[in-house]
Amino acid sequence: MAGSLVIVESPAKVKTIKKYLGSGYEVTASNGHVRDLPKSTMGIDVEHNFEPKYITIRGKGELLAKLKKDVKKADKIYLATDPDREGEAISWHLSKALKLNDTDKKVYRISFNEITKNAIKDAIKHPRQLDMNLVDAQQARRVLDRMVGYSISPLLWAKVKRGLSAGRVQSVALRMICDREAQIDAFIPEEYWSLEAELLTAYSKKGVNAKFYGTDTKLAINNKEEMNTILEAIKDAKYIVSEINEGERVKKAPIPFTTSTLQQESSKKLNYSTQKTMRLAQQLYEGVDIEGKGAIALITYLRTDSTRIAAEADTAAREFIGKTYGEEYISKNTVTKNAKSNVQDAHEAIRPTDVTLTPAMVKESLPRELFRLYQLIWKRFVASRMENAKYKTTSVKLAAGDYIFTMSGSKIVFDGFMNVYTDDEEKVSSDAVIGKLKVGDELKLVKLIDVQHFTQPPAHYTEASLVKALEEQGIGRPSTYAPTITTIMARHYVVKEQKNLYVTELGQIVNSMMVNYFGSIVDKDFTANLEQLLDSVGDGKVNWKTVVSNFYPDLESAVNQASKELENVKIADEVTDVICENCGRNMVIKYGPHGKFLACPGFPDCKNTKPYFEKIGVACPKCGGDVVIKKTKKGRIYYGCSNAPECDFMSWNKPFALPCPKCGSYMVEKGNKLLCMNEECGYSENKPK
């Protein structure tokens, strides 16, 4: 039997690590956590300095018994769980559950950022003790999250419906989505116009477009009248080149991926959800069977907010670039510092473990989804070690009477990193024609193109933009982004339609309750400050129980206050005049995962249910029927006619009872304004209180 026992988290790593360590080592897996707080109670002894009451996770008894037998047979125990707070805590829980401190065995903690032969051998050579600062940082998070969840969720169950939950980070994420929806709902479009001239030069049969600029200063065109004034002024104008400026533009090489930027790019380029990205990245990190090479870990650890790269990996990448693309492609820049102060620099950025293992070499061995993610990570890393791309730019001013039109073009002089990694949004306008123009050239007008536009509301959050916003505001950490988004979608607080995240009726109810009664919990600044405190626990600067003991009294006070105020709020089933066709009872309004629905009060004898359409007291502008609140299949609210499908009226904004006083069209509520839906009219007024 092996003299040394190595315990890892995931069974997927066992095969890869065993291959590197050889017969003197037994490698086994804990399958994640083995102890946790109980599900039935809060599990925190508030009276005795907030001591957590850990129990063995249900179903882990057999596994622990096997691990205990393995421990008895070994003389050295290496705890090799993941290299982060969570991994450190799992190692600590294992040492407690297996009573490793009570044995005469030598117990070590080892960690590695990548599952490669060198990294694992090096970790075995340099074992360490458990880092209790990291363990305490994880305990603090777990205890705070449990306090919030177990204190607030019962109020949601009592007043809204069972099965709902509140969370320290998820409630802030929900609030951010609700706030964005409110901004979009309140947005009033403003009119503006654009003007372009399609022109012909003496150098090409193909036309070029010049944009209206103004006079010496940029001029906005706000309405049709202003446009007509300009068109009248330039109707007989000649288009003469008055100024040409040439320059250079540099597009900087990207930095390597962090967890957040990987999730964002993976969403944009591959259309993967944050959860899917993390699941696939986990497989690439743990090891994949590659033909002719066996199980190989393809990328470094996937939970990181550092952009640092190890010196050996940097050297290997530069050598590879020189041989593959040429010396001129190797970046001269060596600075890889993290710009932000709150970065946890324990890990490297996410990169391939072996840069010479190109995507083409592993394509046949990987399923398509894994291949596409590996290719994205590989290309981004190689690009980060390459030179910037360089462009030659040309900008041209054209005099048209008293006004100026402008044109610009650019062409790549040196593609640099773009040889490997390009941004789809990078559109290069060719300066083949523009580059030939000279000052004094006259261009022939083909036509003027004047177009009316309206300003657009802020964009809905997508998973990628929400992750970016959470990271920018210091809410959550790399390991929490994906679970947070997954949770609020699983609870039906938020739905995803064509990448966009929309809040449901249920989400609005939960958010308004959290904002009204637990303002500090859903306050972005408070949550970000708490995250920094938790980081300080990990750095050994703050005691974890100090953070918890300072947090708890305010939470307890808010819960007690909310309980008192909500005592008088009785959410009884509202009886309607809709008769159940199965048993003749009056149906009642209930809450489901997607909001309100009609149900027979005779349940379980009668299980009849129907959709509930709530009237808003407004007549349909198309047919005069009732406008009712409806929901898409996924639960997003809109307003439609009760006579559907015969009448197809629908509006995302709530229609107003009175017509527009200017043109007679219907109006909708937009924040604190009423807006006419006839674009040509554009009438708006303040909403009556």
* CA 486 from centroid of its chain's CA atoms: 10
Contact between 323 and 387 under an 8 Å Cβ cutoff? The reply is no
- Amino acid identity of 479? S
Whose CA is closest to 609, among 601, 618, 617?
A: 601
Within 8 A by CB and 6+ apart from 368, the residues are none
Strand partners, 398: 241, 405
Residues ≥6 apart with Cβ < 8 Å to 566: 155, 158, 159, 517
| CA contacts within 13 A on the Cβ side of 505 | 23
| Residues 6+ positions from 521 with CB-CB distance below 8 Å | 148, 152, 166, 168, 171, 172, 514, 527, 555, 558
Q: What is the gyration radius of the CA atoms in the chain, in angstroms?
A: 31
Q: One-letter amino acid identity for 661?
A: P
Distance of CA 292 to the CA centre of its chain: 37
Looking at the DSSP bridge assignments, the partners of residue 131 are: none
Give dist(CA 146, CA 301) in Å, integer: 27
Q: Is 589 in a helix, a strand, or coil?
A: strand
Q: What are the E-state strand segments in 415-528? A: 442-454, 494-497, 500-503
In angstroms, rounded to a whole number, what is the distance separating the alpha carbons of residues 247 and 613?
62
On the 0-12 / 13-18 / 19+ scale of CB atoms within 10 A, 353 is: buried
Helix, strand or coil, per DSSP, at residue 419: helix
Distance CA 235, CA 400 (A): 9
Given the residues 20, 78, 301, 391, the one annotated as active site? 301
- Torsion, Cα 143 147 150 151, to 10 degrees, reads 170
Respond yes or no: is residue 301 known to be catalytic: yes
Rounded CA separation 674/376 (Å): 47
Residues marked as catalytic: 301
